[in-house]
Amino acid sequence: MVILVTTSRKPCQDTRSVARLLARLIGGVYFSRGKASFDSVMQEAESAGTKRVLFIGESHGNVGSLGFWQDAWLEPELLVKSTKFARGNMVSRVGKVVADDEFGEKLKGLFEMGAGEGATRMILNSRGISFTQGAKLLLEFKLK
């Protein structure tokens, strides 16, 4: 299933960049929200053929949370301590998903990630979520 990736209202440029990168990595669809209402986001998800939406929240100009919606808010909402991401790189879709612990397995279900065809590796655990291509870190969320 495709996931629609969007942001909170009126996000900063870095949050939009992270949302676009994350959508490419997980094979999702990015929606530039701006001032769009929640109902508008749901209509966009429906037109994209999905019911699951990943909202990237912001706190003090930085990525602050990852929240999933599908008919209701899905648990857990992920609180983000810090984010690192590579700019301007060609990235491929996630090809391998590794859940290091029980929490990672739960995250895998939220992202609905299975084996893909890309060269990118997604690592999920209670400490964070990271995407790597070889030895290169593409995107990392450290969780609170």
| pLDDT per residue as tens digits for the range 86-142 | 887 678 889 899 999 999 999 999 988 766 677 899 999 999 999 999 889 999 999
The partner residues of 129 in beta bridges, in order of sequence, read 124, 141
Instruction: Quote the CA–CA distance of 112 and 9 in Å, as a whole number.
Output: 25
pTM of the model: 0.91
- Residue 34: the pLDDT is 84
Contact by Cβ (8 Å): 58, 15: yes
What distance in Å separates the CA atoms of residue 101 and residue 98, rounded to the nearest whole number? 9
Indicate the CATH number for domain 4-143. Answer: 3.40.50.10480
**What is the predicted pLDDT for the residue at 142?**
97
Q: What are the boundaries of each domain within the chain?
A: 4-143
pLDDT in tens, 23-53: 999 999 999 998 899 999 999 999 999 999 9
